[in-house]
Amino acid sequence: MIQNTLVLLKPDAYLRRYVGACVLKEFRDNKAFKIKAFKEVTPSQSLAEKHYSVHREKPFFKKLVDYLTLGPVIAMVIEGENVIPSIRVMLGNTFSEKAEPHTIRGKYGIWNGINVVHASDGEETAKYEISLWRKEAGVEETGGDTVNSLIDDYIKRWSKIRIDNTLKLRGICRLIATGERSIEDCEEEFFKLLKEECVDSDETIIKKFVRIIADNLQERKK
C-alpha cells in the first residue's frame, strides 16, 4: 500500500552537519522512496508541543520539547510502498544505545532519546503530523526537481565535513550511565566533540546541546 510519512532530521542531526548529510543520503538513495516535501524549519514551542502531544503526560515531555526546539530541523514528507514501517525499521530502536548498529539511530544517535530522526509510527499519526507541519510550518508537498536539487545541494555541501564523533560521544555517555564518570566532569569533552561536528553553530547553541544530552542522561528510562 502506498503511504506517506513525516520524517524529521531532529536538531542533533541538523547541527551535526556531517551526520545530517549522511542520514539524508540514506533517504535520497533509497529508490523506493519519493521525497515530496523538504524544508528547513525552526520549530516553535507550540509546534513541538503539538507534534509530541501524545507524550504530554510523560515525565520527559518538557525535555523532549526542549530537544526539538534546540535548533532547526529538516522536515520531509516521504511517499512509498509501506513507507511507514520501512522507515521505522531503518531508524531502529528509540533509544540510541539499544538500536542495532546498522540502523540510523544505531549509527548516529548519541544516547537514550537523542536519536537523530523522527518518523511517523502509523497511518493516523502520519496524517496528523503531515497536516500539522503543513499548517504550522509550511511544509508543502511540492515534489519534483526543486525538492531533489535542494536535497542534492544539502548533501553535497555538508558531506565534505567528514566529522562524525558519535562513538566518542556515546562512549562518554556510557561511562556516565554506569556511574564511572559524572556529567559535570564530561561537559567540556562533550562541548569539544560537538564543536568539531557542529561547524557553523555558535557556542551558545552548543552549550545548550550539551545540556540536552545531560538532561537525557538524567532522564533514565525504565
- The smaller minimum CB distance to ligand IDP, of residues 94 and 159, is found at 94
Cα-Cα-Cα-Cα dihedral of 92, 94, 95, 96, to 10°?
Answer: 40
Question: Alpha helix (H) ranges present in the chain?
Answer: 11-15, 17-28, 45-51, 61-68, 83-91, 104-108, 123-137, 144-158, 166-177, 183-197, 203-218
Residue among 80 and 92 whose Cβ is closer to ligand IDP? 92
Name the closest residue to Mg ion (Cβ): 121
Beta strands 117-119 and 34-41 are: unpaired
Q: Is 102 a catalytic residue?
A: no
The binding track of 20-39 with respect to ligand IDP, each residue x by CB under 6 A or -, is: --------------------
CB 2 within 8 A of CB 123: no
Q: How open is the CA angle 184-179-15, to the nearest 5 degrees?
A: 50
- 121 lines the binding site for ligand IDP (CB under 6 A): yes
Which stretch in 20-28, 41-49, 107-115, 171-179 sits in contact with ligand IDP by CB under 6 A?
107-115
Task: Kindly tell me which of 197 and 215 has the beta carbon lying closer to ligand IDP.
Answer: 215
Minimum distance from CB of 50 to ligand IDP (Å)? 14
By CB under 6 A, is residue 112 in contact with ligand IDP? yes
Fill in the DSSP letter of residue 90: H
Among 94, 142, 148, 159, which residue sits at the site for ligand IDP (rule: CB under 6 A)?
94
Q: In the complex, which residues of this chain contact ligand IDP (CB under 6 A)?
A: 55, 60, 64, 94, 112-113, 115, 118, 121, 216, 219, 221
